[in-house]
Amino acid sequence: MATEVTVPTLGESITEATLGEWLKQPGDAVAADEPIASLETDKVSVEVPSPVAGTMGEHKVQPGDTVNVGAVIASIEAGDAAPKQAEAPAPASTTSPQEQAAGPAPAPTPSEPTAEAPANVDAAALSPSVRRAILEHGVDPATIKGSGKDGRITKDDVVAAASAKPAAPAPTPAPAATAAPATGGERLEERVRMTRLRQTIAKRLKEAQDTAALLTTFNDVDMTAVIEARAKYKELFEKKHGVKLGFMGFFVKAACMALKDIPSVNAQIDGDEIVYHDYADISVAVSAPQGLVVPVIRDADKMSVAQVEKTIGDFGRRAKDGSLKMEEMKGGTFTISNGGVFGSLMSTPIINPPQSAVLGLHRIEDRAVVVDGQVVVRPMMYLALSYDHRLIDGREAVTFLVALKNAIEDPTRILIDL
């Protein structure tokens, strides 16, 4: 008897999703509550669990199809998976004596990658983007340790493995007399449908540009004090709190202090009204395989640096394996985006509607600056505040950045709320 698998409830106001990939193929054994497929919604990827134990049956829809909540997408057959067929014996040789005397045919050269995974890797467990990355970088998936959920390989794992792979020795150039004339290679194009998450990101960012009067103000900050504090206390911090001390904890707390001083940066426009918040729910931009997601640190102004670091670390881990929940990305009064982890020197971030401002952090680099009349080298970072000029004036934006800069350059201010 077959049990139908339906699309689960995805959250408030969400009625449909896109099938991302099948995690189980027809004939595979599945356990109760084991993920068999992933769905992509406007904000997160959601795994569909098997309602019963048994054997994976027919796929009713294909990756990329749009499915409604409650729709049947597959079936689970009762009983264990069918045993795999024994390997068929090698067919008798049909070559002639002359062909046998000539020796075996040459083996295919390894320079032509195929789309199949090695025998010890389950190709069905690899998403299309991962398989494509494996072919592009020429790495063996059997040598990659997956960081995704249940040890699945992600695209980031493939890129990391490719960068760690030693460079192949340069081939010995052939004599000029025997070199073949260069010919133009085939030019290929690939069309990939945008994921639902990417479509939503594009829509919301364009909406922000069309609706808000966007402006960006810059400042820079000397990171010396924070770097010294982090180096001095990072071991004790990790031993006590079980999490590494990073820079985001300092910036989140400094931003919360500045938001209290400049409440309009923490406000939003709702029709003809301005909504002010007496709390700071900080959205932090986190990179995920499917795109950028923005989970929210609730009541960040009431948290310690350790609590902030634990929350951000948890968000980062769950963003990679797609287990963030819908409600964790709703709301938010102010956003911090750290492009510095990717090497960005300067940028003009776009606000996350209906919020009115976003803080962009960038890479830290040594620069020559003048301190007390002397040219010295200091670790500097550019800060960028993009804001809706309809609500936030330039004076308020500059005042916010200066308050943030003062708190980072003198972290004692964060402790005494000054």
- Helix 394-409 with 248-261: angle, nearest 10 deg: 140
- Please name which of 346, 404, 418, 416 lies closest in space to residue 222, comparing C-alpha atoms: 404
Alpha-helix runs per DSSP H in 102-247? 128-137, 155-164, 196-211, 224-241
Q: What is the DSSP string of 227-288?
A: HHHHHHHHHHHHHHHSS---SHHHHHHHHHHHHHHSGGGG-EEETTEEE--SS--EEE-EEE
Contact 269, 388 (CB under 8 A): yes
Number of H helices, E strands in the chain: 9, 19
Helix (H, G, I), strand (E, B), or coil: what is residue 30? strand
Rounded CA gap, 355 and 125, in Å?
A: 38
Q: How many CB atoms lie within 10 A of CB 352?
A: 19
Rounded CA gap, 83 and 75, in Å?
A: 19
Which tokens hold the place of 267? 């406000």
Rounded CA gap, 155 and 289, in Å?
A: 7
The set of catalytic residues is 389, 393
Which tokens hold the place of 258? 């500045």
| Adjacent-strand bridge partners of 18 | 40, 66
Q: How many CB atoms lie within 10 A of CB 346?
A: 14
